[in-house]
Amino acid sequence: MSRIRLISIAVGILVALGLVAGLFDSLQRLYAGLALISPWLASLLLVLLVAAVIAALAGLAYYLAIFGRSPSRPPTPSISADRSEAAQENLVAMRQQVAQIQDEVVRQALLEQSEAIERDLSQQALTVVVFGVGSAGKTSLVNAIMGQIVGEVGAPMGTTTYQRQTYRLQLQGANREILIIDTPGVQETGAGGSQREQIARQLATDADLLLFVIDNDLRQSEFELLQTLNEIGKRLLIVFNKADLYLEADQQQILERLHQRLPILAEDLVAVAANPRPLILPDGEVQPEPEILPLLTRMAAVLRAEGEDLVADNILLRSQRLGEETRRLINAQRQQQAEKIVERFQWIGAGVVAATPLPGVDLLATAAINAQMVVELGQVYDCEMNLERGKELALSLAKTLVSLGVVRGAIEIFSVALQTNVGTFLVGRAIQGVTAAYLTRIAGKSFIQYFQRNQNWGDGGISEVVQEQFRLNRRDQFVKAFVQEALERVVRPLTNQ
């Protein structure tokens, strides 16, 4: 306890004693005055004073008992309840979606990732990943951190694998065990370099706290990677290693440029020298101690103050990313199934129209076929769709095809394309059949977008969707390939007949 505080307490006690003495003297005079007038009133005053003193002493004893208790160690805080529940809900929803994935290998891999996240929900450890290019001195930094905290780093302290090296430590004031993970360097060349970089990037995105190690101003690739990590909400400390290799002015200039380019707090950019240059002395070289105290101080402050939130945020982030990956795979699978449905119905429509030629393209016939296509597409995207609703949508789209001139444009395209490939007596029927197939394709592609948007045509409405699909499917290369397939599926059966 400081001398100033002791003096303040002593002065306070003296003042309190003086006030009590003055109060006691005043009460004594009041009692003596009342005794002369009415002994009964004097006795009542005495009783009230004694009761007040007893109550004051009891209150004092109560509060002394409370404040005199030794503080108990607070329980280890759990992950933020709402974030934990949100992560669990994401995992449950993701598993329901995974059941729809047909690829057994992909489905099993996603389930294993969800199980790993669930294990981490109850894991009592904070993961600190050291990340950066191979030449930045990551391993030296890890060794310096472990050496400063727990002494010389030995093999029993760490777990080494091909992908990473992990050290465990307990930080005073932190309620969780700390895992320090040294990752492979990014941008390595040679065999296996790309695979090791992919592993390092995955470890970085899964970290609770990331130490991004650099040894100079940021390379463009490092800057882009930092932007990506920052966008996904990763907690970062930027470690400017090998600071002893720079003059003070040069070091300060680099730090200022980093501050300008990176959206981080000033205290989250730390200069260190994990493996300083040896000092040349007359009697030989001397290896200085690592200069990493600013990093240790900042890292400890972040882990103590933000540790539980870092774990909660990271678990929630990982569960959301896994859910997004699952939805992406399901959408790709649905897209593939929908494409097959559209292709099947486009050639069914072509066969029907070519076999029963009418003046112009029979949109009513194709609309009836498209209605069944709409129902099957709805089933792929888990949308309730009956045949009556399918007919309404198909007719609406058929009218849009006519009003936008898509029907006329398709007839012109295939009239030119088929003139030189089909005999004169078959060209009319061929044009009708192929055009019907093409229009069914445009309709099918449009309906895929409709279902992907949860049965919504979007801000531009049905017209914009149809026009976009017409633009995409009128390219010369596609039309040539489509005509060649149509010759096999439509024209050859007509010729055989």
Residue 377 has pLDDT above 80, yes or no: yes
Q: Which residues pair with 295 in a beta bridge?
A: none
User: Is 107 found in the same domain as 229?
Assistant: yes
Closest by CA to 423, choosing from 358, 488, 495, 485, is 495
Contacts of residue 446, defined as CB under 8 A and 6 or more positions apart, other chains included, come to 397, 462, 465, 466, 469
Residue where a domain stops, chosen among 284, 307, 326 = 326
User: Is 151 found in the same domain as 63?
Assistant: no
HEC string of 46-99 equals HHHHHHHHHHHHHHHHHHHHHHHCCCCCCCCCCCCHHHHHHHHHHHHHHHHHHC
The per-residue pLDDT for range 213-224, each reduced to its tens digit, is 988 888 888 888
Which token pair is 95? 């598993």
Residue 45 has pLDDT above 80, yes or no: no
Residue 76 lies in a domain: no
Q: How confident is the model at residue 379 (pLDDT cuts 50, 70, 90)?
A: very high
Residue 73 lies in a domain: no
What percent of the chain is modeled with pLDDT above 90?
13
Measured at the CA of 493, the angle between CA 489 and CA 495, to 5 degrees, comes to 125
Residue where a domain stops, chosen among 298, 326, 354 = 326
The per-residue pLDDT for range 444-455, each reduced to its tens digit, is 999 999 999 989
Q: Give the structural domain span for 8.
A: 3-68
Own/partner contacts of 387-393, CB < 8 Å, gap of 24 or more, are 391/367, 393/447, 393/450
164 vs 148: CA distance, rounded Å? 21
User: Is 106 found in the same domain as 218?
Assistant: yes
Q: Which residues pair with 381 in a beta bridge?
A: none
Is the pTM higher than 0.75?
no
459 vs 47: CA distance, rounded Å? 86
482 vs 435: CA distance, rounded Å? 11
User: Is 315 found in the same domain as 277?
Assistant: yes
| Average pLDDT, integer, range 313-318 | 78
Contacts of residue 309, defined as CB under 8 A and 6 or more positions apart, other chains included, come to 80
User: Is 310 found in the same domain as 452?
Assistant: no
Provide the 10 A C-beta neighbour count for residue 446. Answer: 23
Burial of 483 (0-12, 13-18, 19+ CB in 10 A): buried
The residue with tokens 């006690």 is: 13
The pLDDT score that the predictor gives to residue 325 is: 85
User: Is 283 found in the same domain as 382?
Assistant: no
Q: Which residue has the higher pLDDT, 311 or 31?
A: 311
243 vs 135: CA distance, rounded Å? 14
Q: Which residue has the higher pLDDT, 115 or 27?
A: 115
135 vs 471: CA distance, rounded Å? 50
370 vs 148: CA distance, rounded Å? 72
| Average pLDDT, integer, range 113-122 | 75
Residue 266 has pLDDT above 50, yes or no: yes
278 vs 275: CA distance, rounded Å? 9
Q: Which residue has the higher pLDDT, 26 or 233?
A: 233
Contacts of residue 48, defined as CB under 8 A and 6 or more positions apart, other chains included, come to none
Residue 75 lies in a domain: no
User: How many structural domains does the chain have?
Assistant: 3
Residue 74 lies in a domain: no
Least confident of 15-29, 126-140, 273-287, 323-337: 15-29
120 vs 314: CA distance, rounded Å? 10
User: Is 343 found in the same domain as 301?
Assistant: no
Q: Which residue has the higher pLDDT, 154 or 167?
A: 167
Written as one letter, the residue type at 317 is L
Least confident of 62-71, 144-153, 322-331, 401-410: 62-71
447 vs 466: CA distance, rounded Å? 9
349 vs 390: CA distance, rounded Å? 16
Residue 435 lies in a domain: yes
Which token pair is 384? 């309730």
The pLDDT score that the predictor gives to residue 159 is: 45
Residue 338 has pLDDT above 90, yes or no: yes
Residue 194 has pLDDT above 80, yes or no: no
Burial of 193 (0-12, 13-18, 19+ CB in 10 A): middle
Residue 40 has pLDDT above 60, yes or no: yes
Q: Which residue has the higher pLDDT, 49 or 77?
A: 49
Residue 40 lies in a domain: yes
Q: CATH number of the domain that 291 lies in?
A: 3.40.50.300
The per-residue pLDDT for range 83-97, each reduced to its tens digit, is 667 777 777 877 888
The per-residue pLDDT for range 118-150, each reduced to its tens digit, is 777 666 678 898 988 777 888 889 888 888 665
The pLDDT score that the predictor gives to residue 444 is: 93
Q: Which residues pair with 237 in a beta bridge?
A: 211
User: Is 93 found in the same domain as 56?
Assistant: no
User: Is 256 found in the same domain as 148?
Assistant: yes
Between the CA atoms of 321, 327, 330 and 331, what dihedral angle is there, to the nearest 10 degrees? -120
Residue 439 lies in a domain: yes
Q: What is the DSSP letter of 382?
A: T
Which token pair is 74? 């607070």
Closest by CA to 361, choosing from 394, 316, 406, 391, is 406
The secondary element (H helix, E strand) that includes residue 369 is helix 363-380
Tell me the torsion sign for CA atoms 185, 187, 190, 196: positive
Written as one letter, the residue type at 264 is I
The per-residue pLDDT for range 267-302, each reduced to its tens digit, is 899 999 988 888 887 777 788 888 989 998 898 888
User: Is 240 found in the same domain as 162?
Assistant: yes
Q: Residue count of the chain, please give it.
A: 497
The pLDDT score that the predictor gives to residue 447 is: 94
User: Is 94 found in the same domain as 63?
Assistant: no
Contact assessment for residue 338 and residue 346, using Cβ atoms and an 8 Å cutoff: no
Contact assessment for residue 366 and residue 432, using Cβ atoms and an 8 Å cutoff: no
Contacts of residue 467, defined as CB under 8 A and 6 or more positions apart, other chains included, come to 404, 406
Residue 377 lies in a domain: yes
User: Is 56 found in the same domain as 98?
Assistant: no
Q: How confident is the model at residue 16 (pLDDT cuts 50, 70, 90)?
A: low
Burial of 114 (0-12, 13-18, 19+ CB in 10 A): buried
The pLDDT score that the predictor gives to residue 356 is: 67
* Phi, psi angle pair for 211, to nearest 5°: -100, 105
